[in-house]
Structure 1
Amino acid sequence: MTQNHNKAGRKPKIDTTVFRCSVNFTASEQAMLMAMYDRVQVESMSAFIKMVLFEKPFKVFYVDENTRIFIDKLSSLNSLYRTVGVEYGLLVKTLRENFTEAKAMRALYKLEQQTIELVKVSQQIV
């Protein structure tokens, strides 16, 4: 009689971590370590310490409050562009339904000039 074994559960790791080291820090050293760890985006403190010990490169991201505000405003500007595009389509449809061809074309010409100016400003921002 053959037995069917389910392959459930976690797959075994190829190179498992079996050794553990302990290091003692003074209060100032611990503060320096925590400050360095806060600047680096890794999943755990042990991974950070391994990177430092074995001289693996790691990235440090400084988040400046002014830069964050600027990025948020640029993101909101892109959403405003999408909104203008949707409103533009609705406006063109409404103009064609409610006005004569000549009046609609005059209004669309003004709108087109403003849109071109908006595109120029957006290109300068980029």
Structure 2
Amino acid sequence: MNKGKMNNKHKGGRKPKIDPSIHRHVFRLNDEENNRLLSLFEASGMTNKAKFITSVLFSKEIKTVTIDKGKSDFYIRLTSLYSQFRAVGVNYNQVVKLLYTHFTEKKAAAFLYKLEKQTAELAMIGQKILQLAEEFNNISINKK
């Protein structure tokens, strides 16, 4: 029989790589060097240490991703606040429609007056939120 042909037959599994990484190098680090390497690796956002080390050795571009917890928390809260403002707007329109359908003109006008006062107060709170957002933005720009 032809044993040579049987051994070359592909039996399934992964396709073989065109240029496999077969050379292995081992190096040792002390605690301080290891901590520096690990912190650089974590800051890079890469998932494979070997690829990270080769990119550092051959001076390929390394991207570092930093996530500011304060900014992301602020963004999440601002987004939820925006959705609440939209809900208030929808409720406002529904209340005005209901006032004119279930009450007399005079009574509806009295309730609308109270509603306008509350709306003005809500608008002032919105202005304060905008000022705080601008201050937060200025602080984060100044830190850079």
- State the TM-score bracket (shorter-chain normalisation): 0.5 to 0.7
**Superposition pairs of residues 25-44 of structure 1, within 5 angstroms:** 25-26=28-29, 27-44=31-48
2:59 equivalent to 1:55: yes
Q: Secondary structure at the match of 2:37?
A: helix
RMSD: 3.4
Please name the residue that 1:24 is paired with: 27
Please name the residue that 2:84 is paired with: 80
Aligned residues: 117
Between 1 and 2, higher relative CO (CA 8 Å, sep ≥ 6) is seen in 1
What is the alpha-carbon distance in structure 1 between the residues aligned to residue 23 and residue 83 of structure 2?
A: 50
**Superposition pairs of residues 1-126 of structure 1, within 5 angstroms:** 15-26=18-29, 27-101=31-105, 103-104=107-108, 107=112, 110=116, 113-114=120-121, 116-117=123-124, 120-121=127-128, 123-124=130-131, 125=133
TM-score under structure 2 normalisation?
A: 0.56
The runs of 5 or more residues in structure 2 that have no matched partner are 1-12, 135-144
Q: Give the % identical residues.
A: 27
TM-score under structure 1 normalisation?
A: 0.61
